[in-house]
Structure 1
């Protein structure tokens, strides 16, 4: 049997026979994981952190973040607390659909105008075939076609309703491609697959008092850093990485495809042929104004969301009746919160100050010591601003010697 045909237990045994030590895992857990992925031999777990209070469009949310970097969760909470003092975030999104692409080879006798007249009937056929999606408020909304030499390109707009829609969109595209191959002048299908081109754009905005961000000088420094991020690619890409720290953590916690969002965000940042910051901060009318627009093709149902208990837990934390539109607004707001916290840190104490305090916690956690000893070691490390494993061990010896 091939490796992928084996049970997870047998795959694990093969690795053990090769001298690889594996972590223990519950048999039932392993079975569940095997239904979610391929060649499963174990699991990698992430901590689930929490943004305690994020105010978006007048509603308070507790937001789960799955990430191993404590500074990201801390930054999101810091940004969210500043937003809460300023009436929160105003956010909106365009849940107009995601794009799919069909490319076919065509014969010399193909007539584009003739095909264009049949597009309405193709849309109707697809929506009848996938009636369940239509009943949930989605379906095929539009088809655009263009010809380039011996190739026909079709761009299909699919509204996935409350789901991410990747699998459903691909099924629709395959169905449409099959119908198109029956048309005169069409030779064969090259491919039919969704596109991760930016869609479902979501915008989050805040209006912050100078006092809430540490004064007018701090606000102006944030705005200047933002301007640099729009003009300098080295700063722009780092700024966007900081935004995606928070975005990806919520996407992972809610079972959404962070890879698709990251790919689309990269295109949006470079849409005018020049890479720039996705966020914009400016001082205007006595306030610090912040804005972030992101492509968020996300969902609250479908995929692995319904099959995973850990993901269901995240939705219980978010609260009842959170729609895909609500979740997109929340995610964009988290990105803006992380961005503000990072810009404030960079423009004042420096980003490493906060990072290293949190890193000290990780170092201390690895010490073979009591909780009381760890607490004392951590306090001294932070006070002295020395964040090394060697120093932590030295402090532990001193604490024990002084007892």
Structure 2
């Protein structure tokens, strides 16, 4: 029997024969996971964290984040704490639709003007066939085409309503492609599939007076920090080495919310990095500038998100995230994701501009090191305090401090 034909339990036994040590998983959980993917042998769990102080568009939100990296949650929390003191984040999501692409091979007798004339009829036909999507406020919005030699490239804009819409878009595209093959001069369909090209653009911005950038409200010191943050941001617009690291930090927060809400992290990552190069060179997705005696932060992200469909309703771990969020529309979720991205970016650039980013990272990493010690909770706390106060990190330092404590 081939591996994919085995039950999850049989696969686990097969791996055990080769020395694999798998974590215990409840049988009902394993069965549910097996319905979701292929060759399932277990599960990987992530901590589910929650931001409680996020003010976006005048409303306070509780935002779930799924990540194993404590610094990501801490950074978002810090960013939002500063934002909230200044009225929070203003965000807007433009949800015109997602793109789908059809490519057809055509012959010498093909007429593009004649083909274009049929687009209104194709739109009506598709929306009749997929009337359930239209009933939810979505549907096929427009079709455009360009011809390059014997290839015809069609771009369809599909409004997925409150869903991310990949499966529905693919179904619409296949339906259209099948009908279009009957057009004069069309030879064969090469493919019909969703494109992850940037769409559903969401923008978020925040304005921070200089005084709010310091704990004591020192305006002069705040202005100094703001100028350095603006300079770092400018470097991210011109230097690709800084830009890609800046954007990675942004996506830390984005991916954590997407993972918690059952959205497609890979699609958003691909679209975001394509958007970062829209002007011909790779740039930061965010910008920080000095305007009117304050620091102004802006970010724009292509966020094709959904709050229904896919695995959202079938996964209990995802449903709990929506119980945290409350009833929410896809546009609101996109606003929250962009705001988290801005908060994470603020925290990173602010740290670089002040105390440096490594100190916070090392403090959080020390927790993981100490947690692995074979020690009592009291001993772990004492070791953690010694490591952070003396700025000595790593497994070796932890063991040395534990030995010293026990020697006393």
Q: Is this a same-fold pair by TM over 0.5?
A: yes
1:334-345 to structure 2, matched below 5 A, reads 334-345=340-351
Name 1:254's counterpart in structure 2: 261
Range with greater deviation from structure 2 (287-296 or 61-70): 61-70
Name 1:352's counterpart in structure 2: 358
Name 1:29's counterpart in structure 2: 29
Q: Tell me if 1:134 matches 2:140.
A: no
Using the TM superposition, give the Cα deviation of residue 240 of structure 1 relative to its aligned residue in structure 2, in angstroms.
Answer: 0.5
Provide the aligned length of Structure 1 versus Structure 2. 401
Using the TM superposition, give the Cα deviation of residue 5 of structure 1 relative to its aligned residue in structure 2, in angstroms.
Answer: 2.2
- Which of 235, 241, 251 pairs up with 1:234? 241
Name 2:205's counterpart in structure 1: 205
Query: What is the rounded CA distance, in whole Å, between the counterparts of 2:21 and 2:284 in structure 1?
Result: 44
Query: What is the rounded CA distance, in whole Å, between the counterparts of 2:111 and 2:195 in structure 1?
Result: 26
Q: Tell me if 1:219 matches 2:226.
A: yes
Using the TM superposition, give the Cα deviation of residue 184 of structure 1 relative to its aligned residue in structure 2, in angstroms.
Answer: 1.2
Q: Secondary structure at the match of 1:369?
A: coil
Task: Give the unaligned 5+ runs of structure 1.
Answer: none
- Which of 280, 290, 302 pairs up with 1:295? 302
**After TM superposition, which residue ranges in structure 1, 4 or more long, deviate above 4 angstroms?**
none
Using the TM superposition, give the Cα deviation of residue 251 of structure 1 relative to its aligned residue in structure 2, in angstroms.
Answer: 0.4
Range with greater deviation from structure 2 (179-188 or 8-17): 8-17
Name 2:218's counterpart in structure 1: none
Q: Secondary structure at the match of 1:35?
A: helix
- TM-superposition CA deviations, 1:236-277 (whole Å, max 9, x none): 111000000000010001000010000001111001111111
Task: Give the unaligned 5+ runs of structure 2.
Answer: 215-221
- TM-superposition CA deviations, 1:190-217 (whole Å, max 9, x none): 0000100000000000001111112111
Query: What is the rounded CA distance, in whole Å, between the counterparts of 2:6 and 2:119 in structure 1?
Result: 46
Using the TM superposition, give the Cα deviation of residue 172 of structure 1 relative to its aligned residue in structure 2, in angstroms.
Answer: 0.4
Query: What is the rounded CA distance, in whole Å, between the counterparts of 2:377 and 2:61 in structure 1?
Result: 32
Name 2:189's counterpart in structure 1: 189
Name 1:66's counterpart in structure 2: 66
Q: Tell me if 1:98 matches 2:98.
A: yes
Q: TM-score, normalised by structure 2?
A: 0.97
Q: Secondary structure at the match of 2:51?
A: strand
Using the TM superposition, give the Cα deviation of residue 401 of structure 1 relative to its aligned residue in structure 2, in angstroms.
Answer: 2.2
Query: What is the rounded CA distance, in whole Å, between the counterparts of 1:142 and 1:171 in structure 2?
Result: 16
Query: What is the rounded CA distance, in whole Å, between the counterparts of 2:392 and 2:173 in structure 1?
Result: 57
Query: What is the rounded CA distance, in whole Å, between the counterparts of 1:82 and 1:294 in structure 2?
Result: 22
Query: What is the rounded CA distance, in whole Å, between the counterparts of 2:18 and 2:395 in structure 1?
Result: 33
Q: Secondary structure at the match of 1:49?
A: strand
Report the aligned-residue RMSD: 0.8
- Which of 258, 261, 274 pairs up with 1:267? 274
Using the TM superposition, give the Cα deviation of residue 146 of structure 1 relative to its aligned residue in structure 2, in angstroms.
Answer: 1.2
Q: Secondary structure at the match of 2:295?
A: strand
Using the TM superposition, give the Cα deviation of residue 32 of structure 1 relative to its aligned residue in structure 2, in angstroms.
Answer: 0.6
1:271-282 to structure 2, matched below 5 A, reads 271-282=278-289
